[in-house]
Each structure stands twice: as C-alpha cells, then as structure tokens.
C-alpha cells in the first residue's frame, strides 16, 4: 500500500481500482472541461499570509452548518452513482462522515437508498432532491426522507437539462449503466471492485426502483429517467418543495447574485454556490470566483456555502475566508471511496482536516470563527464588484 498524504494520492489509487466508466463519470466535466479545471485552478491563485510568534495552542475548526454541528466546515456532497465507485458506497461514506463528525448528503441518484442509509447510521443525514416531472414521486420521496430522520433537504436547481459530458458518451455510460464490450473488458482488470459488487444486492438506483410508479426494473427505470428531469423548474416549484418539506431547505446550484437574492426571498436556510462541479455550463465562473459577490449580496441574510474544486484543507480555509460558512466535497470523497472504501473516505477527511488546522495556525489563527479575508494576500483573491 502506498503512503497516502494528499487527496491526489487517493485519486491516483482510485483510478487504478475503479472501472473506467465510473471513475470517468466522477472525474470529468462538460464540453471542454474549462470550468471543471477552473474550480481547482482558481484556488491556487489565492495566496495566504503567514504569521509568526503567535500562540497556536488549542485550535478549533468546529462550526455549525444549517444548525448541525460539524468538526470542520465541510459536508459530503451528494454524488450520483457513489455506490458504483465501491460496493455500498453511500453507506460507507455516510458511516465515515458520522464517525468524523460532519454532515452527509445522499443523492437522489444514489445506489443505496434513503432507507439503507438510515438503517446503517445513527446520526441525522441530509437528502438531496432533483425535481422531476412526476410530482407524486417527488412528494413520496420527501416523505421518505422525513421518515428516515433527515434533518435538511438539499434541492439542486442546476440540472433542469443535463450538460454534455464527453467522457460519458465515449464510455457508453447511461443511466442506469449499460456496459459496452470495452467496459466489460476493463471490468475484468478490476477484480477487487467486481468481488465487492458481487457481495452486495445494491446495484441500481434504489431510491427510484420499487418506489416510483411504473419503475420496477432497470429497463423501466431507464425509460422513466430519460423523461423526468424537468426543464420547467421554477421558483414556484421551490415554494412547493418548501411547503411539503417543512424543515430546513438548502438550495444548491446558485452562481448568480440575482438568483441568490431570489433564494433568500424563497425562505431557504442556506444556499450552495455551485456549478455542479463543472459538469453543466462549461465556461461558467469557478465557484470560488463567484463566491465573494454572492456573499456580499446576501451573506447577512442567509448561510452561504460553496462547492467545486476543493482538494485540500487550504481550499476550505480560503473559501471560509471569502465568506463561505460551509463547503461540500464530492470528488475528494469519491477518490477516497474508490481507493479504499470507508477507510479511504476517512483518510480524505483526515487529510483535509489536518491541512485546514495547520494552515489556519500558520496564518496566525486558532479558531476558524475568527478567520476572515485578512489572512489572504490582497490582490490574489476575487472580490465583489463595487
């Protein structure tokens, strides 16, 4: 086993162990992947101010996200097909998050179901909802999340239509997956992955199969899914979800100040500045570039979080310094899961937390609640336009 010291180490190991079509599904963007790359690259442009001769004892990275205590301002993002990165992937990621002390968000398009997560964890988790045309199915899913003890609902707004992801097209990846001959040959080189999948009954989208009217197997699921993402999604639908849910509501996919203001008006409890990991509108701003303007516009009225491009604890600290009161990690979690299962997710969280903690100390702070943009070198970070 190689020595793992960074998220990049986990990525390299995951690429060796996860079948190509599923690794590429997670580690790709739309079209030219320019926004996917910018999400990470723009963090590297931001420089930190090193401070010395300050007492660095008794440091704390603890905070709350939507009222839920978190060891650091990080939650595991909802990632579709997580259970295809590693057998029972969502369960393993949720367990790692629970033990570490951060929130876990389950995707609508997960392999393990809402009930699977509730059965295998004790801490409350959050559920991410995609709005489908079938409103009865959506109402049922919201009720299932409530019965499972979910204490927040994350409504994703930026998937009304699906961005074109060239790697998925070239790999023949569909929803549900239909392996091509090339992919089957690739599977033969991943015996550990295959053995794990042979040992679980969770191979399909268990939030949908058996729960949605007319969806009883893979074929009927494919037909339903292809028709269901709703291009008519509007703020009236957000109000519909809020009324039926009745609990904490987080809106994910906000990239524009005007949309952030509308999110505040909707009564949401938090928003996530996100471009869907660069998987939707290629050419959009990176999340960290879009963040300051949104914080300036609505940060005093609503919790502002962000995701996209976070590969280290330094990235988390920079996002916090620019006003994000929470971050979500998707690919960093997926790399750990694909590399080493639950142990890998834990390792990813440990790496991020240690980097966050030590970097905060080097910047002369001992409590993340006192961190602001004064830890950053002026002129190296994005600012809100006057």
Q: Does 276 qualify as catalytic in the annotation?
A: yes
Q: What share of the chain is helix, strand, coil (3-state, %, to 5)?
A: 45, 10, 40
CB 99 within 8 A of CB 120: no
**Residue 181 neighbours by CB under 8 Å, 6+ apart:** none
Q: Which phi and psi angles does 170 have, rounded to 5°?
A: -70, -30
- In the chain the beta strands, taken as DSSP E runs, fall at 63-65, 68-70, 74-76, 105-106, 126-130, 152-156, 248-254, 270-273, 303-307, 327-329
Tell me how far apart the alpha carbons of residues 281 and 256 are, in angstroms, rounded to a whole number.
13
For CA atoms 361, 367, 370, 372, the dihedral sign is positive
CB 45 within 8 A of CB 380: yes
CB 316 within 8 A of CB 325: no
Q: How many CA atoms lie within 13 A of 69 on its CB side?
A: 8
Catalytic residue among 203, 211, 276, 353: 276
Q: Which phi and psi angles does 74 have, rounded to 5°?
A: -140, 135
**Residue 230 neighbours by CB under 8 Å, 6+ apart:** 131, 132, 133, 160, 237
| Residue 24 host element (H or E) | helix 20-26
Quick check: helix, strand or coil at residue 333?
helix
Look-up of token digits 């097209």:
169
Look-up of token digits 């994703």:
156
For CA atoms 173, 81, 141, 277, the dihedral sign is negative
Quick check: helix, strand or coil at residue 128?
strand
CB 355 within 8 A of CB 349: no
**Distances 14 to 150, 216, 262, 331 between C-alpha atoms, Å:** 30, 32, 39, 11
- The set of catalytic residues is 276
């Amino acid at each position: 086993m190689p020595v793992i010291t960074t998220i990049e180490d986990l990525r390299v190991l995951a690429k060796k162990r996860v079948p190509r079509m599923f690794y590429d599904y997670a580690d790709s963007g739309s079209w030219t992947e320019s926004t996917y790359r910018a999400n990470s690259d723009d963090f590297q442009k931001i420089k930190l101010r090193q401070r010395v001769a300050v007492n660095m004892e008794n440091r704390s990275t603890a905070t709350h996200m939507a009222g839920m205590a978190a060891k650091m301002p990080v939650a595991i993002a909802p990632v579709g097909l997580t259970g295809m990165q590693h057998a029972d992937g969502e369960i393993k990621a949720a367990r790692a998050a629970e033990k570490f002390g951060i929130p876990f968000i389950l995707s609508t398009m997960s392999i393990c179901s809402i009930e699977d997560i509730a059965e295998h964890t004790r801490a409350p988790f959050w559920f991410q909802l995609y709005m489908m045309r079938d409103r009865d199915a959506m109402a049922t899913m919201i009720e299932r999340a409530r019965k499972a003890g979910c204490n927040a609902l994350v409504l994703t707004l930026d998937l009304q239509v699906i961005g074109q992801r060239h790697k998925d097209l070239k790999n023949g990846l569909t929803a549900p997956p239909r392996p091509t001959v090339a992919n089957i040959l690739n599977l033969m080189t991943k015996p550990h992955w295959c053995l794990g999948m042979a040992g679980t009954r969770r191979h399909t989208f268990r939030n949908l199969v058996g729960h949605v009217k007319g969806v009883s197997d893979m074929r009927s699921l494919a037909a339903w899914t292809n028709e269901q993402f709703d291009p008519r999604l509007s703020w009236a639908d957000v109000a519909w979800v809020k009324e039926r849910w009745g609990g904490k509501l987080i809106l994910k996919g906000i990239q524009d100040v005007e949309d952030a203001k509308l999110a505040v008006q909707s009564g949401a409890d938090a928003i996530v500045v996100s471009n869907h990991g660069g998987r939707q509108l290629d050419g959009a701003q990176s999340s960290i570039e879009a963040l300051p303007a949104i914080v300036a516009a609505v940060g005093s009225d609503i919790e502002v979080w962000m995701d996209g491009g976070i590969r280290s604890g330094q990235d988390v600290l920079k996002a916090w310094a620019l006003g994000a009161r929470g971050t979500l990690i998707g690919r960093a979690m997926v790399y750990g899961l694909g590399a080493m299962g639950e142990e890998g997710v834990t390792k990813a969280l440990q790496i991020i937390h240690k980097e966050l903690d030590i970097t905060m100390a080097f910047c002369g702070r001992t409590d993340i609640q006192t961190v602001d943009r004064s830890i950053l070198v002026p002129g190296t970070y994005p600012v809100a336009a006057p």
